[in-house]
Amino acid sequence: MRLNIMRLMYCCLYFQKLIISSVNEMSFVNIIPVIAKADTISKSELHKFKIKIMSELVSNGVQIYQFPLDDETVAKVNTTMNGHLPFAVVGSTEEVSVGNKMVKARQYPWGVVQVENENHCDFVKLREMLICVNMEDLREQTHTRHYELYRRCKLEEMGFKDTDPECKPVSLQQTYEKREDEMRQMFVQRVKEKEAELKDAERELQGRFEQLKRLHADEKAALEEKKRLFEDDQSSFSKRRAAAQLLQAQSLTANGKKDKDRKNSGFM
């Protein structure tokens, strides 16, 4: 049956419609089966449907909440109510006039189905069982049974168990401390491994830095040598140019003197 879930404080109501499916994931709550829209089938069909639902719940391994019988004050009423499972309820948000008062009900052409009329559905029985009669037991079952099961499952998922390989009980505190110590040692080992990796990486980077530093120094020295050679060539060129300019000036001076002497000789 397809299951729609309505959560109460300490239980889970399953509204059954067609086929039962697995509800193992809801093993940590008090499950109470409920038939919704019970006014859509006849009394005889409803009785057969209740039997079918309970049979399919058992065959599918669904553990439902049974009203407790160990308390003499409620044992009689709980025995009767266990026989009513699953509860067949009718819901409505509309109010209909019945006699001299307004009640929650469903209005049909053939009559009125009252939500709080025990001759029409089990809504009042369900409410009384949950809120008035068995609330304390629901709370106790939640804490002592379902929460304990949930806690144990979660601890087992984390690797903790309350028994040793020989199925002897062990202290969860000791198991936790042992696991914590193992995790601490593992953490320390991982830190050491990471530190070693970082040191190796640091040495590698330092080696590459030194190599780049040497290459830079070699390139700088080569550039300095080229600069020195260029300056030597520039100085030599400047000297040769000055010598050439001096020779040219001396040559011009000598030629000017010769021309002057020739002119003076011709004049005389």
At 246 the pLDDT is 84
Predicted pLDDT at 19: 38
Percent of the chain with pLDDT over 90: 16
In the β-sheet with 111-114, what is the strand arrangement from edge to edge? 95-98, 101-108, 111-114
pLDDT of residue 264: 66
Is omega for the bond preceding 86 within 30 degrees of 0, making it cis? yes
Which stretches of the chain drop beneath a pLDDT of 50? Answer: 1-9, 17-25, 267-268
* Both tokens assigned to 82: 């266990």
pTM for the structure as a whole: 0.51
Give the three-state DSSP class for 9: coil
Q: What is the pLDDT of residue 194?
A: 92
Specify the pLDDT at position 168. 66
pLDDT of the residue at 2: 39
Side chain identity, residue 130: L
